[in-house]
Amino acid sequence: MAIKYFCPFCKAELPEDLEICPFCKTDLRDNVSYDDKIILSLDHPILDVRMLSIKLVGEKCIKKALPKLSDLANKSSDPLELIAIYKSLKQIGSSEANKIIEKIRQKNNKIVNNYIDEITS
Ligand SMILES: [Zn+2]
């Protein structure tokens, strides 16, 4: 999968890792790491962008994204988003990640829990 870049400030998708965002003109050189950019994108208003960020957090095993993933899991009622969060938490696999998985289960979303039961059985 191609790596995508997002402006951490206005959340616009950037064609490459630019130094200055062409949309909001913010200077992006100021030490915002790629991991931090991904974490910032977890707040993106567009679900597709959030889904991509959620996936990347899991693939890159970004543990410091866990508090944000936890917030997202609390707020979301979208089964696809919750499943994506679950998958990333599984990839991270820490005890903190497992606690968030437990919280997702307790939301009692049927689709999500069936999915989790199916792949853990
Ligand atoms: Zn911007």
* 36: enclosing H helix or E strand: helix 34-41
Q: How far is the CA of 119 from the centre of ligand 1 (A)?
A: 39
Q: How far is the CA of 95 from the centre of ligand 1 (A)?
A: 35
pLDDT truncated to tens, each residue of the chain (121 aa)? 567 788 878 888 888 888 888 998 888 777 678 888 899 889 888 899 999 999 999 999 999 999 999 999 999 999 999 999 999 999 999 999 999 999 999 999 999 999 999 988 7
Q: How far is the CA of 23 from the centre of ligand 1 (A)?
A: 5
The pTM (predicted TM-score) of the whole model is 0.76
Q: What is the pLDDT of residue 84?
A: 97
Q: How far is the CA of 7 from the centre of ligand 1 (A)?
A: 5
Q: How far is the CA of 5 from the centre of ligand 1 (A)?
A: 11
Give the separation between CA 94 and CA 10, rounded to whole angstroms: 31
